[in-house]
Amino acid sequence: MPNFSAYSHRLPIQNKLIALSVLIFSVLIAFLLFFYDSFSTSLENEKKAQSKHLTESAIGVISYFHGLSLAGQLSDEDAKNYAMNSLKNSTYGDHGYFWISSLDGEILLQPYKPELVGMSLLDWQYTDGTHPFRDVSRERRKTGGWITYLWSKNDSLEQFSKIAYVSYFAPWDWLIGTGIYLDDMEENVFWTVSKATGILLFGFVLFIGVSTLTINYFINILSKQSVRDSLTKLYSKRFLEEVIPGMLENEKRHNRALAAIFLDIDHFKKINDTYGHNCGDQVLQKVARVMMECTRTGDYCIRYGGEEFVIIGPCDNSKNVIAVAERIRKQVSNLVFTHDGTAFNVTLSAGIALHDHAKSSFDETLNDADMKLFEAKTAGRNCVVI
């Protein structure tokens, strides 16, 4: 079977396309890393801003009930109880809640751990025995703002790092805060950013993949058109120039030789002059078909110019190469052509040269095959010389 694909050796334009795809993918990865870092920071800031906003909202609730107390609609004690109950029921997310303590540190509201109500934050200690809140002065507590500390979750005694925004409500001497467990925030940010990054990556890869396949498809079509001879459908001389470097490297790597067969239709000018160029074209087409049918997988059939052809292929044994050339020669001589009721036959001559990677360039090998073809012509044509 002839080798019609012949694209085990990529053309330079295809190599450039692959290089461009790799470059685009590298830029995409760099962009996604930048996006991941920027989006993560943005989400963390958003989480913190949300915590601050929730604390300010809680202050708004407390201020509302304090206003009712000032207006005489509620007693001060009832106003405090209403405010606490409102915030107690305002839990959110997996571990989100509001807490209230007095300025002196007494815990007044802790929705998930009501047993802590009445305990002093000044007695809260870390697993290493330190008391973090004892080092915070009363004046510092009044200023509020961001604080970072360790606190246990509802279903665990283990202490986790937490960041909270705290506000001071002076009329009742309350500290109100709500915070975010850093591990929860990091996990939430990680999965949110991962999903967004995954969607972007999928979209970009899909776009690049479809674009690359589409471009490669049209490049293949254009490349085939540019390296195929339109009349015989054999490869052109340009293709030979494109593919030889890759073939030489491949055969050299596998320590195999290449063979070049130069073929020429005998007295082709006479055929054109006698029967016309249309008939000459038919001869070229049928000879090309015989070449493709008789060559082996891995061989390249090339129209070198006019009625000259070249076959390039791996050579494991010179006898096999001679057998290919002889098979083509005999089958061509058996072809019968007709023109205006007149039947005629054609013959061809062939010259073979084996390429030695160490001793010569491939151009020299082609020249040697051409010289052998000349010897075949001199010897009377319709024969193979090696």
C-alpha distances (whole Å) from 36 to each of 76, 191, 336 are: 50, 11, 72
Contact of 337 with 282, CB cutoff 8 Å: yes
Question: How many other CB atoms sit within 10 Å of the CB of residue 303?
Answer: 25
Q: Are 240 and 228 in contact (CB under 8 A)?
A: no
What is the C-alpha separation between 12 and 214, in angstroms, rounded?
A: 18
- The gap between the terminal CA atoms of the chain, to the nearest Å, is 24
- If you count them, how many residues does the chain have? 386
Neighbours of 30 (CB within 10 A): 10
In this structure, are residues 320 and 314 in contact, taking their beta carbons and an 8 Å threshold?
A: no
Catalytic residue among 139, 307, 364, 375: 307
CA angle 67, 68, 69 (to 5 degrees): 90
Could you tell me if 180 and 99 are in contact, meaning their C-beta atoms sit under 8 angstroms apart? no
Q: Is 307 a catalytic residue?
A: yes
Residues annotated as catalytic (active site), given as ranges? 307
